[in-house]
Every structure is written in structure tokens, then in C-alpha cells.
Structure 1
């Protein structure tokens, strides 16, 4: 069976195939994305294929999809969608990481999507400028990864569902930091 070999960094570990060949997807394509439902989900329905800033594009997709889906669901339904999306992301990100041969490839943006849905669920209702502020704060925390996000990002990566949890959880922490900023701002 395929296994991840130990390496200096989780992001650069290649997948070893049964035949002894190393396979590592450095830039996924639409063909790869459409080859399995987990890939489609993990790559954010194509938003993760952006050659520039896939995490930012994935977050923009999350923002737009939140606004569109909100036209048909009640606000309290969002928490169920987020929990379901998180659980689905465990599987999709673990499977996609395995198939790509990289623990947390930048094109896997389902974690940003679910985490930003969480942010939007708690900051809404707010206007465009409040939503933009939420977007910018979330991206800042996701990119900079202040403690303990950076530590979690480094230590929770790996094969299987544990790795899928690591991919998903550091973005949930970035969402928590964003919501903390909004709570402090609204309390002033």
C-alpha cells in the first residue's frame, strides 16, 4: 500500500507507490480535480486551481458561496453546514493529500471555505465593509499563522484522517482569531 516516507518537511514529502516510483502533484489540473469527488471538494470546486493566491481565491469563493447559499437557508442552518463541511473536509483533504503526495498542498482550499463560512455565520448580518474586514482579518491570520496556529499547522500534518484534521483545524483557529477581533471591536 502507498505510504508517506519520512522527510524534512511535511509539505515536500513525496508519496511512494507500490512500483517504487515517486509521484508528487506540484500543480493540480482540472483533470486531476475531476478524477475523484474528494479532489473536487478539497480543491474548492476549482477555486484552488488558481495559479496566484489559491487560498485567497478559495476564501473569495467561500464569501460568494455563503451569500448565495444564504438566500435559501436560514442562518441557524449554517452551523450544521459548517460541521458537515468540516467532517467532509477531513475525508476530502486526506484523500486528496494522499493522491497528490503532499500533506497540505496550497491548492486544497476546502479548509479556507469552511472556516470562512464560520466567520460569516457569526459576523452576519453586516454590510460590505464589515464582510471585507472579516475577509482581510481571516486572510491575515491564515497567512501569518500566529501562535498556536503555526504550531498546529506544523504538527498536525500527516497521512490519513489525522492529516485531514490538521489541514482543516488550523483554518478553524484562524476563523476563531478573526471572530475574536470582531468581538473586541463590537464591544468597544
Structure 2
């Protein structure tokens, strides 16, 4: 790993490992997309089908934990919101999937659609996501734009599900 922006990254440190999405954020191209992909099997194994209240509890705990993970890791790297920090993508995708209609023949289509919606909002950053991304710093700043992208994607996904 001969990248100066990662000279202080230590994947043996569990905080760095989690912030970098178990290493998925190390992709040279599109680390956010790779990080979001890495969040899928974790969601599939542990969160799919979990009742709403415990699921929301996981999201809140994951957000709070993520603020600390992202703050600590970005400080260690000396780079605010390093592209390889993808814990925020994990939480954003899991927000998108909160009430995902995965039952029936269209389950995988909803999973892919939700993934695409989240990536769209995370990349395009419509207002106020872009504003938050620029104005709010630290671990909270790293997390909040992806949380909002997840909420936007959740809203569009649920609206689509209602209309179909």
C-alpha cells in the first residue's frame, strides 16, 4: 500500500478496519460504491427481516458508533472524509433498506433499486446533502450526508413501492 494518504492507516486497528468497511474502502476506483457493496452481505445476514424497532436501534447505534469511527480514523489519516472511509455508506444503505419489500419474486430488484438510489443520492448530493457535506465537519459531518442520502433513497423507494 504505497499511498501517502494512507500512510497512517492500520487495518489491524479495529476502528480503522470498520471505518474502511473491512477493507472495501481501499479500492482505488469508486471506493464508496465498493464500500456500499460490502454493506450488502452484512445487511443480508444480520438485518434483513429484522423488525422495525430493533432495526432502527441498529441504525442509531451504527450512526453514533460511526461518528466516533470516522472522526478517529480521519484524524489518524490527517484527511477529512477520506474516500476510503465507507462506514457512512454502510449506514446510508441500511437506512435505504429499512422497509425494503424483499418478499416475492421482485426481492432482488428492490435490493438493486435501493442500492442504485442510495448511490445516486450519495454521488449527486442534491440540496441539502451537498450543503451538509461542505459545512459540517468531523465524524458527524462524514456520517450525516450519507444518512440523508439514505433517507432520500428510502423515501423514493417507498414511494415507488406504493405506486406499483
Normalising by the smaller structure, the TM-score range is 0.7 to 0.9
List structure 1 runs of 4+ shifted beyond 6 angstroms.
Answer: none
Residue 56 of structure 2 corresponds to residue 79 of structure 1: yes
Correspondence for 1:156: 136
Query: C-alpha separation between the residues in 2 aligned to 1:70 and 1:168?
Result: 20
2:87 corresponds, among 110, 130, 144, to: 110
2:143 corresponds, among 156, 168, 171, to: 168
Runs of 5+ unmatched residues, structure 2: none
Instruction: After superposition, give the CA deviation of every residue in 1:98-117 in whole Å (9 maximum; x if it has no partner).
Output: 00101100000000001111
User: How far off its partner does 1:184 sit?
Assistant: 2.2
Query: C-alpha separation between the residues in 2 aligned to 1:121 and 1:106?
Result: 25
Q: Secondary structure at the match of 2:9?
A: helix
User: How far off its partner does 1:34 sit?
Assistant: 2.1
Whose Rg is larger? Answer: 1
Name the TM-score, length of structure 2 as normaliser. Answer: 0.87
Taking only aligned residues, the RMSD between alpha carbons, in angstroms, comes to 2.0
Query: C-alpha separation between the residues in 1 aligned to 2:88 and 2:41?
Result: 16
Instruction: After superposition, give the CA deviation of every residue in 1:25-79 in whole Å (9 maximum; x if it has no partner).
Output: 52x37x82324222111111111111121100111111121001147x7333222
1:97 corresponds, among 74, 93, 111, to: 74
Which is richer in helix?
Answer: 2
Query: C-alpha separation between the residues in 1 aligned to 2:68 and 2:151?
Result: 22
1:40 corresponds, among 17, 20, 23, to: 17
Correspondence for 1:128: 108
